[in-house]
Structure formats: structure tokens, C-alpha cells
């Protein structure tokens, strides 16, 4: 029973595959949107195609002072965030840990974890003061099932899942909900980003199989985000039917 509609939804990484799908779905429900991204042209194009009141924020989520300033400067109509979707994130590289680029590791941790925690910390007090709110964090199956070359990306998503669950402990009795969304393989620019523009390598990830789409993930996010206020979805794990959790690796000499 979908008996709740968040008034104002803030989506980070709104210019990417998932974020754009979330924006369109929540716009379809008539929610006001705060769209956060790094690419002003893409933000403007997305907002122009939506028929709900929309405020765009061009910011790198890792830039804490800029994020703080942007949130403090939200127009009054958009200031009471009902639903924060922490979606901005990325994987960089899939080489073994011992051949990894440490700069990539830092970017993943700074984006997927530090920035997500800071954004949450900035938005949460207002939600608690208003006695309503919902934080939906985009984690991943990578946070539960490690795979070769996943190292820091997998660990960064385990942080997201555990942070989400731990927040629940503090928020009991506040009326604020928290949900961890944990998708498996979904075709977006994710792999193009991971393989730094190597389109052939990225395409191989999705070749000869049927990955989920960003819309499929939006289905789960919108469902969790529109349930009645007494109902908290702690976590949702979703995969394509063609994907399963991997077996443990064994080296044989
Ligand atoms: P995309 O690459 O299509 O989108 C990622 C979005 O995050 C882009 O809008 C990107 O903006 C934004 N972003 C990245 N870094 C920053 C930053 N520092 N500041 C602001 N925005 C930033 O990938 P997806 O839509 O697939 O990924 C969205 C989320 O879903 C990520 O957290 C990812 O880890 C997670 N995920 C993805 C899965 C998949 O298989 N696709 C499965 C499970 C989870 P820009 O274009 O400017 O970089
Ligand atoms: C993205 C899915 O399996 O590439 O989080 O890590 S996976």
C-alpha cells in the first residue's frame, strides 16, 4: 500500500544512470526535487524535462564546505528534505589489490563513504527536528559478496550497508527511516567509469546476459520510499535473474 509521498527528495549523482531514473520516478509522483551533480549542463537538461519544482545543485559531493554551503543556501521551498537518496558513487579499476592505483582507492572511499556520511550528517538533524524523513543509501551486492578486483569498492559498499543499519539504531523513535539498497549488475555508465572510458571492456560486463536496468532499481527505491511512515525497509538486495552470488575461490597447485 503506497500511502505516503515524500514532499522533497534530494538525489545525489542525479546525472547518472540510477540518479536520473530516480529523479524521473519521483517527479512522476509529484515530489519536489533537489538534484545534486557535478555536470551543470546535464543537471539543467534533466531538470528541463521534469514538470515538478526542481532545484539543481552543482557540487562535487567530496567537497564538504561546498556541500555545506549548498545545503545552507537551499531555497525555503526545498529546504525541508523528506527523502535523501545517497546515490553518487563509483568503482575505479578492477585490477588485483596489489596492482591497484592508490589514488583510485582514495576517490572511492572519499566518494562512496566519506561524502555519503557527511551528506547524511548534514541532512539528518533537520529530519529528526521535523520528526519525519528517510535516508535511502545506494549500496551494492559488492558490500556482501566480495569478488576479485573488488577490494576497496566492495569494502566501501560494506560501509554503506553497515552505516545504514547502524543509523537505524540511533533513529528509533525519531520517525526517520533508513534503507540500504543493494543492487547487483545494472547496465549504466558504471563500468565505463570503472574502466576509465574503455567502452569495449565496459560492454563485455553486460554482454550476452540480461542485467537489471536503472529503472528496475528505481522500482525498489520508490517502493521503499513511498511506504507508510510506520514501515521501514532495512535493506533490499536485488539482482538480475541471470546473476548469482559467486562461489569461494580456491587455488590448486
Ligand atoms: P553512473 O556512473 O551512471 O552514475 C554515477 C553518478 O554519481 C553520476 O551522476 C556521477 O556524476 C555521480 N558522482 C560520482 N562521483 C561524484 C562526486 N564526487 N560528486 C558528485 N557526483 C558524483 O553509475 P550508476 O548510476 O550505476 O551508479 C550509481 C550508484 O549505484 C553508485 O553509488 C554505484 O556504486 C551504485 N551501484 C551501481 C551498480 C551498477 O551495476 N551500475 C550496482 C550497485 C550499486 P559524474 O558523471 O559527474 O561523475
Ligand atoms: C556494482 C555491482 O557487481 O559490479 O556495485 O560490484 S558490481
Q: Which tens digit of pLDDT belongs to each residue from 27-84?
A: 999 999 999 999 999 999 999 999 999 999 999 999 999 999 999 999 999 999 999 9
- Find cell 523513535 and name the residue: 173
Sign, CA torsion 102/68/130/220: negative
Q: Does the pLDDT value for residue 2 go beyond 90?
A: no
When pLDDT is cut at 50, 70 and 90, the band that residue 3 belongs to is confident
Percent of the chain with pLDDT over 70: 99
Does 166 or 3 have the greater pLDDT score? 166
- Residue 154 CA: which ligand is closest? 2
185 lines ligand 2 (CB under 6 A): yes
For residue 142 and ligand 2, the question of a CB distance below 6 A is answered with: yes
Select from 3.40.50.720, 1.10.1660.10, 3.40.605.10, 3.30.360.10 the CATH code of 8-185+213-237: 3.40.50.720
Q: How far from chain centre, in Å, is Cα 70?
A: 19
Q: What is the pLDDT of residues 172-219, one digit of tens each?
A: 999 999 999 999 999 999 999 999 999 999 999 999 999 999 999 999
Identify which ligand lies nearest to the alpha carbon of 193.
1
pLDDT surpassing 80 at residue 97? yes
Enter the C-alpha cell of residue 15: 546525472
What 3-state class would DSSP assign to 174? coil
The cell numbers describing 147, all together, are 569478488
Ligand 1 centroid, distance to 230 Cα (angstroms): 30
72-76, 146-150, 246-250: least confident range: 246-250
Please state, in angstroms and as integers, the Cα–Cα distance from residue 195 to each residue in 15, 101, 104, 202, following that order: 19, 13, 11, 7
Domain ranges of the chain: 8-185+213-237
- Of all protein residues, the one whose alpha carbon is nearest to atom 19 of ligand 1 is 60
In this prediction, residues 8-33 reach a mean pLDDT of: 98
108 CA distance to ligand 2 middle (Å) = 13
Q: Ligand 2 pocket test: which of 16, 153, 156, 237 has the largest number of ligand atoms within 8 Å of its C-beta?
A: 153
- Residue range 149-178: average pLDDT? 98
For atom 6 of ligand 2, which residue has the closest CA?
142
| Residues lining ligand 1, Cβ inside 6 A | 13, 15-19, 37-39, 60-62, 87-90, 111, 138, 140, 183, 185-186, 188-190, 193
pTM, two decimals, is 0.98
Q: Which residue has the higher pLDDT, 1 or 63?
A: 63
Ligand number, closest to the Cα atom of 60: 1
Give CA–CA dist 235/214, Å, rounded.
Answer: 18
**Which atom in ligand 1 lies closest to the alpha carbon of residue 186?**
40
Q: What is the mean pLDDT of the chain?
A: 97
Separation of CA 174 and ligand 2 centre (Å): 33
Catalytic (active-site) positions? 153
- Whether 14 has a pLDDT exceeding 90, the answer reads yes
Amino acid at each position: 500500500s503506497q500511502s505516503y509521498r515524500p514532499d522533497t527528495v534530494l538525489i545525489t549523482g542525479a546525472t547518472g544512470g540510477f540518479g536520473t531514473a530516480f529523479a524521473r520516478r519521483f517527479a512522476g509522483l509529484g515530489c519536489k526535487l533537489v538534484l545534486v551533480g557535478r555536470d551543470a549542463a546535464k543537471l539543467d537538461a534533466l531538470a528541463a524535462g521534469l514538470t515538478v519544482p526542481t532545484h539543481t545543485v552543482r557540487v562535487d559531493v567530496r567537497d564538504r564546505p561546498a556541500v555545506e554551503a549548498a545545503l545552507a543556501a537551499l531555497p525555503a521551498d526545498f529546504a525541508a528534505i523528506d527523502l535523501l537518496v545517497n546515490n553518487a558513487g563509483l568503482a575505479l579499476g578492477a585490477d588485483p589489490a596489489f596492482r591497484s592505483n592508490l589514488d583510485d582507492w582514495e576517490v572511492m572511499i572519499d566518494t562512496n563513504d566519506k561524502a555519503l556520511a557527511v551528506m547524511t550528517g548534514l541532512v539528518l538533524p533537520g529530519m529528526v527536528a521535523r520528526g519525519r524523513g528517510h535516508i535511502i543509501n545506494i549500496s551494492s551486492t559488492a558490500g556482501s559478496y566480495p569478488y576479485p578486483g573488488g577490494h576497496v569498492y566492495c569494502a566501501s559498499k560494506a560501509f554503506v550497508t553497515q552505516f545504514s543499519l547502524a543509523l537505524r539504531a540511533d533513529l528509533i523513535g525519531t520517525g526517520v527511516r533508513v534503507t540500504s539498497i543493494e543492487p547487483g549488475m545494472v547496465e549504466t555508465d558504471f563500468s565505463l567509469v570503472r574502466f576509465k572510458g574503455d567502452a569495449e571492456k565496459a560492454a563485455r560486463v553486460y554482454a550476452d546476459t540480461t542485467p537489471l536496468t536503472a529503472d528496475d532499481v528505481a522500482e525498489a527505491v520508490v517502493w521503499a520510499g513511498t511506504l507508510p511512515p510506520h514501515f521501514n525497509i532495512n535493506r533490499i538486495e536485488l539482482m538480475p535473474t541471470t546473476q548469482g552470488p559467486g562461489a569461494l575461490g580456491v587455488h590448486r597447485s
